[in-house]
Amino acid sequence: MVRRNEIRAGETAVQAPAATDAGLVFIGRIRTPWTDRLECPRQGRQDGPTCRIEVFEPWVAALDALGEYERLEVLYWLHESRRDLVRQSPRNDGVARGTFSLRTPVRPNPIGTQIVTLVRVEGANVFVRGLDCLDGTPLLDLKPDRSAFTPLAPRQPGDDQVGDTA
């Protein structure tokens, strides 16, 4: 079962440094059917319910041309997650493994990333399928899925760099 915020047997918490190296601005809010972490999907599915991503001003103009893409990458802030566990026990069975080997929301920087299917853009609202986050989750970013996007800028040297230099 997904945790609320307890520490489980076998897990390791650390004294985390202050999270003041950079600051985020919440650029919108995500509306989903899930109001409790114990009901959320663990991973979104592309045939899941339509969710509404509401974009705040002054960022609405940045949605221009987003509708050209079938698949988007969504970044959001997992605002209810603790940030201090380095080893976690997903099955709550006393067996723990490193946080970076898991896609758990509990991480030093609780940023969720998901690939979603675009349904439509309507004013400041982006309707998508494939999300798995709580209703009210703060939005951090939207971008075309990398596999669907070809850079529009001209080529530059690093684009052709392969292998290792001596």
Is 5 an interacting residue with respect to a second copy (CB under 8 A)?
no
Say how far apart CA 75 and CA 32 lie, in whole Å. Answer: 15
Is 12 an interacting residue with respect to a second copy (CB under 8 A)?
yes
Q: Tell the smallest beta-carbon distance from residue 95 to a second copy (Å).
A: 9
CA distances from 97 to 10, 12, 60, 94 (A): 9, 9, 41, 10
Say how far apart CA 136 and CA 105 lie, in whole Å. Answer: 15
- According to DSSP, residue 52 is labeled E
Is 123 an interacting residue with respect to a second copy (CB under 8 A)?
no
Number of residues that bind a second copy (CB under 8 A): 86
Is 94 an interacting residue with respect to a second copy (CB under 8 A)?
no
Nearer to a second copy among residue 54 and residue 108 (C-beta): 108
Q: Give the one residue of 113, 120, 122, 136 binding a second copy; rule: CB under 8 A.
A: 113
Q: Tell the smallest beta-carbon distance from residue 151 to a second copy (Å).
A: 4
Q: Give the one residue of 14, 94, 120, 122 binding a second copy; rule: CB under 8 A.
A: 14
47-65 CB burial, b ≥16 within 10 A, e <16: ebeebbbebeeeeeeebee
Closest CA to 111 of 46, 19, 40: 19
Is 109 an interacting residue with respect to a second copy (CB under 8 A)?
yes
Is 124 an interacting residue with respect to a second copy (CB under 8 A)?
no
Q: Would you give the binding string for a second copy spanning residues 21-50, x where CB under 8 A is met?
A: xxxxxxx-----xx---xxxxxx-x-xxxx
Say how far apart CA 36 and CA 58 lie, in whole Å. Answer: 30
Q: Give the one residue of 5, 6, 64, 123 binding a second copy; rule: CB under 8 A.
A: 64
